[in-house]
Structure 1
Amino acid sequence: MNSGLFTVMWGLTATAFGWIVATDFRDAARRLELMSRRSLPFGLGRQPVPVIAGVPVLRLVAGVFGLVGPVVLVVGLVELAGPDSAVTSAMPRPPLPFLLFATVPVALGLWIMWRPSGPLRGEWAGGGVVRRAAVVVLTLSVLCGLFAFVFDAMTVQPLCWLSAAVSGLILLPGRR
């Protein structure tokens, strides 16, 4: 995978995420904080939020992403336009036990997100056609990223990341 392509994708995602959450577009910061609390296992999400955490801190962190994202985007575009743009970085294939161990967090994460009180189940139940399609694309993108990692298809992995980021940005702002 070309490092410039990764940098451009990171910059685009960080910029979009940062500006949407920092400006609290359609109450996105509160929804993200609520989704992250609902995704905690074993009832930890029902505990009171510490004073240091919450929506204001989330908006502050998102503001940093919103400011750094355009800079990273420009750096990535310069890398893509530069003379070394055809050079790709080949990653060594990880050993099989590591690949099997990598599936555990993905499976656990999908289980947490799709359980009856999970955020994806709530988005599915309360969403229209676009929101349900975004939930399906987000789930399939996570699985696609795992299979691309396991089967060493690193050229497909940026597409999985990009589709997951776009579908996550569709889900984040909330309903009208």
Structure 2
Amino acid sequence: MSKNFMGRMWDFLGLVEEEDAWASAPPSPVAVTRPSSGNVRLIPNRPSDGRSATTPRPELPRIPKERTARSLIDVETEILQVDGFADCLHLTSWYKASVPVMLDLRFLPPEVAQGVVYYATGLVSFNQGEVSQVGDGLVLVSPPGVTVSPAEQARLEKIGMWPSSPDG
């Protein structure tokens, strides 16, 4: 009996005993029966709204959707002091709740910080969220359609998590 590639590899490594775990089972015969003609009932195609079956439904005018970003005044930006990859679960939870998250990566080794940013980028890529670098080691992860309000930016600036404005 010939083995597939994986079966031969496991045998070579000595991980498969006498029984062949990778052998494919013989196909079982499947009985295919046709329904008898007595089981079929034809229903005439009559639309209920008085139109004939050949009259197409009128097209509705398409209204373009406006993409407006909403500012969350009542929700503060969550600040996450990242200590490692385990904190990515917290990022995911807050992101799913449509709360912007400020990642503080200033005290991480560059390799770990880069990995966390890659994770955040992958997290937002499926639904058009945003990842933006706000400052040195500060990354803002925003859910789609959510912006940080000016009042929230001022609060973050006071605690050193947002770059200060040039005029103030």
- Which range, TM-score by smaller chain? under 0.3
TM-score by length of 2: 0.20
Q: Which has the larger radius of gyration?
A: 2
Larger proportion of helix: 1
TM-score by length of 1: 0.19
Larger proportion of strand: 2
